[in-house]
Amino acid sequence: MAAHEFKHLFSPLKIGNIIVPNRIVLPAHWTCFFFQDEPPNERLTHYLAARAKGGAGLIITPQNTVWPSSTHYGYVGTHDDKAMPAYKMISQAVHEHGAKVIAQLTHFGPSTGFLKTGGAGLAPSSVGGSGGLLPHALGNAVPHEMDKNEIKEIVASYGVTAYRMRETGYDGVEISSTVGAGGLLVAFLNPLTNRRTDEYGGSLENRFRIHMEIIDSVRSAIGSDFVVGLRLIGDMLIDGGTTLDDTKVLAVMVEKRGQVDYLGVCAGFQGHIPPMHFPLGAFVYIAAGVKEVVDLPVVCHGRINDPVQAESILDNNQADLIGMARALICDPEWPIKAKEGRTEEIRKCIACIQECAGNFLKWQPISCTLNPQAGRENVITKIVPAADKKKIMVVGGGAAGLETARVAALRGHQVSLYEKEKELGGQCIIAAKVPKREDFAEVPRYYTYQMKHLGVEVHLETTITPEMVKEKNPDAVVVAVGSVPNMLPVPGSDRDNVVWVRDVLQGEATTGENVVVIAAEQHEQALGVAIFLADKGKKVELVTHCLYAGTELDTNTLPFMYGQLLSKGGVISPLTRVKSIEENAVVTAHAMTGVERRIEGVDTVVVAGIGRADESLYRTLKGEGKEIYAVGQCLAPRLLTDSIWDGYHVGCLL
């Protein structure tokens, strides 16, 4: 589809007193680019400017905390003069590319996070652990119950902060009532965390009262010619939380008040960042429901990653603006590629939640599994042409080899890539076999297109030997042949009834009816293969020596994988170490107490591990005096993100 065919997506929209050049919004998302006692920095500025340069029409900057009592991350908030130069720098950098910029105003309320900054969390009621809803440590502390004077102080602080943002050249502010970022306001709105009996508790209107007071406070501080938005969780998707029907009532109230210029609507309680388990556009119906009852522009969010999908949402009048956080983290040039009809060039977010929110939930700077440049825009500006154009041979068509080939070809090298299988993609093809993990297939799709587009010569079903390398005589060789099975060092692991995870997923190994999956890794392979087998009607027990399975997965994905396995009758046995494997039994020991247990009636044991580097080709060629690199799993078996990062890095070195 060419630009003119995305006629809604690239049409301007008036919001309050500004004209947004198109309908593409980068919604607020916390980056962890700066920490305790630090103001926003150049890293954030470059990151946001790259998305504006890529063509997003509206950039909403993350979490401008309104008052010192918002202690969650302990960084320098918008109330502090030290933050002002950075916000001026951001507004200038974004405006240079023709986009508009709005600041999301936040009070973290009950969330005090991991950092000790002094002071307790603030909340409508002294209810800890976000009402017991979050399966992780965030927000578990018991907050201080606010009295009416404390509420007044916070309401006023939003007005003060909005006024200060206006001074920085921003185009507007967004009052956030989303989880995390809008912790305090969500805590008021959520009946599970608001137990007040005064005018701020009880009915929906009462629980929303602080929002209305803040809206009034902001509007009276900044006047009529500055945009004010409100972001709400359209449906908390939890028993007892607010629903779409509630949000419709609130949206009508807000519109009647006449102080707000747009509404942003997302969904879900835990971070409203839907994992791969949700279909594309999973929450569009919520924005559409709100749009039915108001005339205010509505921004929709949640798993929108494709221009045709975005255009049809607008065409169907389900929303006025398309919010895409991860799609633009993954490919900042998504808008410009869509506008120029280069849709196949877009690197689509697969909702893996690994390097973006996965990092941020671990208090680490965000990036993207598929885009190593994301979050490093301050140090990596662009891929530079190579001074010496070389003949490069890449051996292996998994993610590491493909990324090497892509970057090397972009730099002007002549690249040939050899893959022993029938198709490109390596382990991503295997990962996509697990039910609800099919989005991993985007990785081979993207790279297959890139190879063609960049003129990389691809040879499938070709196994490369050291002799063939000698014969082809390239200037440099990059070995990306992956890893081989790495069975457990326990007695019985060499039995015929013990099989390797990837062989099962590829259909190269069959299993009996009763299967034990041994988690020799703590990411998604053990859970994935257990789900795959349970889905086929097998009786599966997953054993892990850790406290729970998938400890390295993010807390958004994990509950869905657990749900998939348990709903199919699968059993997860934590703190269970494997001692030996017998013909029809697995002997385990409790990881803490050492107490033994025999799992009887086992037909097949699946070892789910990350493998061992397949180093032989690399080691053989290394002595030959050629420029040679190993990337990805054959350097050391790690995650997809590491493979892509290796490929990117070596592609830049060649």
Ligand X SMILES: Cc1cc2nc3c(=O)[nH]c(=O)nc-3n(C[C@H](O)[C@H](O)[C@H](O)COP(=O)(O)O)c2cc1C
Q: Which residues bind ligand X (CB under 6 A)?
A: 27-30, 62-63, 104, 176, 178, 180-181, 231, 266, 272-273, 301-304, 324-327, 356-357, 360, 366
**Please, which residues have CB within 8 angstroms of residue 532's CB and are 6 or more apart in sequence?**
433, 434, 435, 504, 505
Restricted to residues 365-394, the positions that interact with ligand SF4 (CB under 6 A) are 368-370
Of 291-299, 363-371, 478-486, 623-631, which part binds ligand SF4 (CB under 6 A)? 363-371
Q: Which does 298 bind (CB under 5 to 8 A by kind): ligand SF4, ligand X, none?
A: none
- Report the residue from 165, 329, 424, 464 that binds ligand SF4 according to the rule CB under 6 A: 329
Smallest gap from Cβ 43 to ligand SF4, in A, equals 17
**Is residue 351 involved in binding ligand SF4 (CB under 6 A)?**
yes
**Is residue 349 involved in binding ligand SF4 (CB under 6 A)?**
yes
**Please, which residues have CB within 8 angstroms of residue 305's CB and are 6 or more apart in sequence?**
280, 324, 326, 327, 330, 348, 349, 351
d(CA 325, CA 63): 14
Task: For ligand X, give the closer residue by CB, 99 or 451.
Answer: 99
Task: For ligand SF4, give the closer residue by CB, 90 or 352.
Answer: 352
CB 361 within 8 A of CB 136: yes
**Is residue 330 involved in binding ligand SF4 (CB under 6 A)?**
yes
Q: Give the total of residues touching ligand SF4 (CB under 6 A).
A: 14
The tokens for 342 are 């280069």
The tokens for 351 are 């909702």
Q: Which does 360 bind (CB under 5 to 8 A by kind): ligand SF4, ligand X, none?
A: ligand X
Beta strands, E only, 501-632? 514-519, 539-543, 571-573, 576-581, 585-590, 596-600, 604-608, 612-613, 627-630
Task: For ligand X, give the closer residue by CB, 157 or 367.
Answer: 367
Task: For ligand SF4, give the closer residue by CB, 330 or 338.
Answer: 330
**Is residue 554 involved in binding ligand SF4 (CB under 6 A)?**
no
Task: For ligand X, give the closer residue by CB, 290 or 602.
Answer: 290
Smallest gap from Cβ 2 to ligand X, in A, equals 24
Give the residue at shortest CB distance from ligand X. Answer: 181
**Using H for helix, E for strand and C for coil, what is the string for 303-355?**
CCCCHHHHHHHHHCCCCCEEECCHHHHHCCCHHHHHHCCCHHHCCCCCCCCCC
**Is residue 556 involved in binding ligand SF4 (CB under 6 A)?**
no
Nearest one of 608, 602, 609, 607 to 515, comparing CA atoms:
602
Identify the residue whose tokens are 């070709």: 462
CB 451 within 8 A of CB 408: no
Q: Which does 266 bind (CB under 5 to 8 A by kind): ligand X, ligand SF4, none?
A: ligand X
Task: For ligand X, give the closer residue by CB, 104 or 564.
Answer: 104
Q: What is the dihedral of CA 173, 174, 175, 180, to 10 degrees?
A: -120
Task: For ligand SF4, give the closer residue by CB, 314 or 640.
Answer: 640
Task: For ligand X, give the closer residue by CB, 210 or 304.
Answer: 304
CB 48 within 8 A of CB 28: no
Q: Which does 369 bind (CB under 5 to 8 A by kind): ligand X, ligand SF4, none?
A: ligand SF4
Smallest gap from Cβ 120 to ligand SF4, in A, equals 32
- Report the residue from 350, 480, 610, 654 that binds ligand SF4 according to the rule CB under 6 A: 350
CB 555 within 8 A of CB 521: no
Identify the residue whose tokens are 């070892």: 607
Burial 468-500 (b: 16+ CB within 10 A, else e): ebeeeebebbbbbbbbbebbbebebeeeebbbb
Smallest gap from Cβ 28 to ligand X, in A, equals 4
Task: For ligand X, give the closer residue by CB, 181 or 430.
Answer: 181
Q: Which does 29 bind (CB under 5 to 8 A by kind): ligand X, ligand SF4, none?
A: ligand X
How many Cβ atoms sit within 10 Å of the Cβ of residue 567? 10
Smallest gap from Cβ 278 to ligand X, in A, equals 9
CB 13 within 8 A of CB 20: yes
Nearest one of 78, 270, 244, 80 to 174, comparing CA atoms:
78
Which H helix or E strand runs over 82?
none
- Report the residue from 326, 523, 538, 539 that binds ligand SF4 according to the rule CB under 6 A: 326
How many Cβ atoms sit within 10 Å of the Cβ of residue 571? 15
CB 77 within 8 A of CB 70: yes
CB 519 within 8 A of CB 542: yes
Task: For ligand X, give the closer residue by CB, 326 or 411.
Answer: 326
Task: For ligand X, give the closer residue by CB, 183 or 492.
Answer: 183
Task: For ligand SF4, give the closer residue by CB, 235 or 355.
Answer: 355
Q: Which does 272 bind (CB under 5 to 8 A by kind): ligand SF4, ligand X, none?
A: ligand X
Largest CA distance in the chain: 83
Task: For ligand X, give the closer residue by CB, 91 or 369.
Answer: 369
Smallest gap from Cβ 252 to ligand X, in A, equals 22
Q: How wide is the angle at C-alpha 33 spanned by C-alphas 160 and 232, nearest 5°?
A: 50
Helix axis angle for 640-653 and 399-410, nearest 10°, is 30
Eight-state DSSP code of residue 455? T
Name the phi and psi angles at 40, rounded to 5: -55, 155
Smallest gap from Cβ 45 to ligand X, in A, equals 17
Q: Distance between alpha carbon 40 and the CA centroid of its chain, in Å?
A: 21
**Is residue 270 involved in binding ligand SF4 (CB under 6 A)?**
no
Smallest gap from Cβ 635 to ligand SF4, in A, equals 21
Beta strands, E only, 141-255? 144-145, 172-177, 227-235
Overall residue count recorded for the chain in this entry: 654
Smallest gap from Cβ 604 to ligand X, in A, equals 38
d(CA 473, CA 418): 14
Smallest gap from Cβ 367 to ligand SF4, in A, equals 7
**Is residue 542 involved in binding ligand SF4 (CB under 6 A)?**
no
Q: Which does 576 bind (CB under 5 to 8 A by kind): ligand X, ligand SF4, none?
A: none
Q: Which does 324 bind (CB under 5 to 8 A by kind): ligand X, ligand SF4, none?
A: ligand X
Q: Which does 177 bind (CB under 5 to 8 A by kind): ligand X, ligand SF4, none?
A: none
Smallest gap from Cβ 368 to ligand X, in A, equals 10
Task: For ligand X, give the closer residue by CB, 8 or 29.
Answer: 29
Q: Which residues bind ligand SF4 (CB under 6 A)?
A: 326, 329-330, 349-356, 368-370
